[in-house]
Structure formats: structure tokens, C-alpha cells
Chains A and B, each alone.
Chain A
Amino acid sequence: MGCPGPGALFSQGPENHVSTETQSIVTAEAESKSVRQAMRQLRRSEYGKVPTTEGKRSQNRRETVAGYGFLLPWMLGFLGLTVGPMIFSLYLAFTKYNLFTAPEWIGLDNFVRMFTEDPQFMQSVQITLVYVLVGTPIKLAAALAVAMLLNYRNKGSGFFRSSFYAPSLIGASVSVAIVWRAMFSTDGPVDSSLSLFGIELGGWVGNVDLVIPMMILLAVWQFGAPMVIFLAGLKQIPQELYEAAEVDGAGPVRKFRSVTIPMLSSVIFFNLLLETINAFQVFASAFIISNGSGGPAGMTNFYTVYLYKRGFADGQMGYAAAMAWVLVIVVAIIAFILFKTQKSWVHYAGENR
């Protein structure tokens, strides 16, 4: 849906001499009304010659002023609350800082400590990776499976779509974390239902082996958001493709592999990227379920929980900043790998492959 280079249409246009590149904002403001009026006249006549009305864009300084004017709040936030803090935290990552005394430059010490002297950090990385790498695929698989089920029939699917989406809205809340803990506690609903089948697991919350599966289940419970996106993607697949595959003798598995997956690959890519990045950031549920301790035995001490404890409970802000940057790099690498491999498995509609 890209616009066919509308700039070219106007390259000899009258407003070219006030192109954005060279003129300063000050002169833009000084631009007199009469000039503007004249320009409008010129442009109007110019437009008259152009066969289509699509893609008309004036590239003058007024546009730039207007553009940055509209963007002002966003720019302030972007520079003051995102870019500035990022640079600041990059600096802090190489310091020792506790909010009360001046930051002390310690070079790479924070990073060295992380990877060589901090078993809690290593454990936190480990459980977070398990949570992300196991939880996200399960969540997406559940989302895709249910989306396909919903796509089978249109009538009546709206109710289910909404019901399944509800957990995504509330899943990260404190209330749900409290419910989850109650559900999985000793003699709670999950424990007692499993006992009916002779499975005696006891409470999941205090169990070192079961607390991560419990957290993963909480993530999978929120499969609704990617499901809704999958469903929208499935509806875009032309029915003719399935019919053509059927003619060629394809069974359901073959149709899934050769039609559904390739046609859905851009949506899968999108969901995979976002869900993976989101999974790294789990906080409130782990914090509430463990009462802020990250227990039992550090098994809910997810990356964000540990970062919070180091930075805000222990006042080791330099160390926490270093941890944050390690996460940024990890996320960047994952995003990079996904974008790189995208070429080999993601097909965009209309692309000739």
C-alpha cells in the first residue's frame, strides 16, 4: 500500500524553492501571508494538471514546523523520558550508585560481578529464559489452535472470542495473581482436582519444581490476545487456496503446513516477537505470588523482580542499570535474529516467491 513517490510529481513545483532541507524554521514563521496565498494559487493551478488527487504533499517548511509542532509532546517524552534516561542508565551501568552519593565509576565491574560472582543473577536469567522459551511457544500454539477452531465456524464464535480474550486484559493484575496463588495452593482447587485423579502434587506455590510451570500456565491462560490476532490473520487467507490444495489431494495436515502456516507467517512473526519481548517483562504476578521475595528458593525471582530488588530495595542502582542493559542487548539480539530469519520463513501477501 505504499504511495507511489508523490514527491516526483511536484519536483518542478513552485514550492520547491522553499524545500525543507535548507530553510530554517525562523524564516518559515516569517513567511508572509501574501506569499502563502500566492503559493496556494500556484499549487491550485498545479494540482489542476495532475490527473489524480492521491499523494499530494507539499514539502515546505511550514509542513516541517507543523509536523514538529504536532509532535512536540511526543518529542518531549521521547527525548526526556526515553532517550535521555537510556543514555543516563548506560552511564549508570558502569558506576556504583545508591541515589544518595554521587555515582562512582567502576568500569565493567557490574558486568563482571553479574556473570561471575552473582549466583542469584544466573538463576534469575535461567528461570526467566525457561519461562520465556517454554511459555511463549505453548501460549502461541494454544492461541493458534483455538483461533483455527474458532475460524471453523463464524456463527457463535464471537462469544468465545470475547471470553477467551478476557484473561489477556486482567492477567497481569494483582487480583489475578492473588487468585492464581489461591488456585494453586495446597488443597486449593487445582490440587484437590488433581487428587481426584490420584495425582498428589500438593501446593504448586511453594514447590520449587512446580512454581515455574504454574507461572507458565498463568501466561498460557492469557492466550487470548495473540489468538485474536491469529484469527484476524486466518480470516485473510483466501478460501480458494484451501480448495486448490484439496484438489491436489492435500489432507488437513498438509493444508495446515502448506497453506495455513505460510499464509499466516507474518502474523506468527508479529506474535512471536511481541510475546517473547513481553514475556521477559513479567513482574506483578511473580512479585505478588512470592510476596516480593522471588521465592521459593529464588524460583520466581524473574529478571524484572530481581532488577527491582537490586535497584530499589537494595539501592544498587548502578548494578540494576547494568542488568537492564544486558536485557536490552538480549532482547535486541532476539529481535535481530527473528528479523534476520524472517526472510526464510515469513511470506508477505503479494510477494512473489
Chain B
Amino acid sequence: MSTIEVPRAEFLEVATEPRPPRRRRVKRKTVNTIIWFVVLFAITAVILYPLVWLVFSTFKPSSEFGQNPGLIPDNPTVDNYVKVLEGIGGTPLWRFFANSLFIALMAVIGTLFSSALAAYAFARIKFKGAGVLFAAMIGTLLLPFHVIIIPQYIIFNRLELVDTYWPLILPKFLATEAFFVFLIVQFIRNIPRDMDEAARIDGAGHLRIFFSIILPLIKPALITSAIFTFIWTWNDFLGPLLYVNSPEQYPLPIALRLYNDATSTSDYGATVAVSFLALLPILIFFIVFQRFLVDGVATQGLKG
């Protein structure tokens, strides 16, 4: 971004009307700051209330739902957790967690591997067709997924891969999430070329440059991509809804639906407790990595 030529502030000072006395300005500033904090804390309270409500509600007995809309349980209990840990329909809860974790970790590995390779090609290798392919990749960012889920389902069905994790994991190894390719491309473009030029002159090929120079330098972009991939895969509902049929293979979002459908009227406590447990890894991730996440969004415009 080039800067815009603007007269310097010092010169402007001359033209402005005389400022109010310093002390009044300071006082006004303090008042403004207080208002600023109050307003923002109020917004924070509203925004985070649903989450806080969720946490407190997990300690409400099921009978309290519909009776006590407030935050604090009348009769706090850990029964919901006890019940939930037993699982549902003969499958223990940890199994759903393990399924989700497996899918998410494979997705992270696949996305990092394939996106970094593709990004290097787009950012550093000058080859015929690069421009067109890059534009096509950006185009897939805007493509509604609807148009490919039906044929993809038919293909995976033909390959008899429905009710396995392949349809969920394989696309990640083929860099179908263009966001991450784009994110890493942008990151590589900002790395000065001096080092790869030097390596090239010393006879290093692209593979060597990629592994020895670029890969260590793009670690922040890789971490951002990994966290987002993990969270999106962890939250993904439509994919497993289409492809995973056996309850013992369910990842958490689909298992949650099991609780939600089976128990929504009778056992709200259990549903709420599982909902919270399913969110917990993401919330922990978020608290630990918030810098990476928020800065990743700020610089690359991820959808979040």
C-alpha cells in the first residue's frame, strides 16, 4: 500500500483554531476513555452472554430448563456430566471425541502439506499457466459448495467410501480449501527473495529451497492455517452428516444431534452439557492462540 502525500501535522497546527486549555482536554479525554470502556464492556457482556449461559446451564438439572431462564442454577448439580460421560446408544462419549480429533488432525496434516506446496508454486515458481490457475483457485473461494457436494457424494458412493472418513480427509490432502493456499501465498510473497536467489545460485532446486528456506519462514502462516483447519473441521456438520452413517464413527457434531433429537424434551441438561464439552477444545484453542487467529483474519481476511 503506498502512502498518500498529506501535509504534515505540524503545519496544520498553525491553521487550526486555538485548542482548549490543556487541563480541560485531559479531563475530557479521561471521561471519554471511561465511556469507551463502559460501552465496550456492555457489548462484551451481551456478546459473551450465550456462552456464559451455556456454561452455567450445564449445572442445571433438566427439570430447571424452561423454569429458570437465569444464569445461576437453583439446584446446582453435576449429574448432567455424569450422565453424558456414559455416552449415548452404547457409544461412550470419549469415542466421539476421539473420532473428531482423528478427523481434525488428519485434516490439519493434509491441509498444511498440500496448501504449502501449492502456495510455493504460486508464489515462487514462474511457470506457464500460473496466472490462470491462480485466478481459478481464487474463483473456488467464491464458489458455493452446493454445486460440488452432490457429484462428490456420488463419486465417493461409487468408490464405496461412504461411511469411511476418506471423503472428509482426502479433499484436505488435495488443497481444496483455497483459503489456506491463498493465505500462505500472501505470506511467502512477503518474504524477501534474497535467500532463495542465493540458494538458487548455489545450485539448490525448488524442493531444497522449499524445505530448507521457505518452510521454516512460513511457520506463522502454517500455524494459523492449522488452527483454522482444526476448528473448521471440528465444527463441520454437513460433511459427516453426509458421509458418516455408523454411530460409533460419529464425530461430535453428529453425535450432538443424537442427544438433541433423542433428549430435547426430556433431558435438556445432557444436551447442554455435551454442547459445552464439544465447544471446550475450540474455546481452549482460542484462548491459547487468539493472537494467531485474530491477526490471521486481520491480514488475510479469513472468513472465520
Contacts and interface: CB of A to CB of B under 8 A. Distances in A.
Given A283-B238, A288-B257, A179 B127 contact: no
B43 A80 contact: no
Interface in B28-66: 32-33, 36-37, 39-40, 43-44, 47-51, 53-54, 57, 65-66
Nearest to A190: B69
Contacts of A172: 235, 237
A21 B283 CA distance: 51
Contacts of B98: none
A178 B154 contact: no
B148 A82 contact: yes
A29 to B, nearest CB: 13
B197 A53 contact: yes
B244 interface: no
A225 B238 contact: no
Contacts of A160: 40, 43-44
Interface string A152-196: 110010001111111111101111101110110111110111000
A243 B9 contact: yes
Nearest to B16: A247
Interface in A209-232: 221-222, 224-225, 228-229, 231-232
Interface in B1-15: 1-4, 6-9, 12, 15
B286 A166 contact: yes
Nearest to A284: B237
A174 B142 contact: no
A74 B114 contact: yes
B66 A186 contact: yes
A246 B176 contact: no
A304 B304 CA distance: 19
Given A67-B121, A74-B137, A240-B9, A312 B44 contact: no
A243 B7 CA distance: 10
B294 A162 contact: yes
A89 B142 contact: no
Contacts of B155: 85, 88
Contact of B33 (A153, A165, A179, A188): A153
Contact of A288 (B3, B260, B278): B260
Contacts, number: 319
B205 interface: yes
A321 interface: yes
Interface in B227-247: 231, 235, 237-238, 242
A317 interface: yes
B153 interface: yes
B118 A70 contact: yes
Nearest to A289: B260
A67 to B, nearest CB: 3
Contacts of A111: none
A320 B278 CA distance: 31
B117 interface: yes
A349 B146 CA distance: 36
A294 interface: no
B85 interface: no
A254 B136 CA distance: 40
A138 interface: no
A64 B145 CA distance: 30
Contacts of A161: 294
Interface stretch (B76-84, B86-94, B218-226, B269-277): B269-277
B118 A80 contact: no
A288 B147 CA distance: 22
Contacts of B278: 173-175
Interface in B110-155: 113-115, 117-118, 120-122, 125-128, 130, 133, 136-137, 140, 142-155
A232 B299 contact: yes
A44 interface: yes
A344 interface: no
Nearest to B256: A174
21 contacts: A54-B193, A68-B121, A70-B120, A74-B121, A75-B133, A85-B151, A156-B37, A161-B294, A166-B48, A166-B283, A174-B235, A174-B237, A174-B260, A176-B275, A187-B69, A228-B297, A228-B298, A232-B299, A284-B237, A308-B238, A311-B150
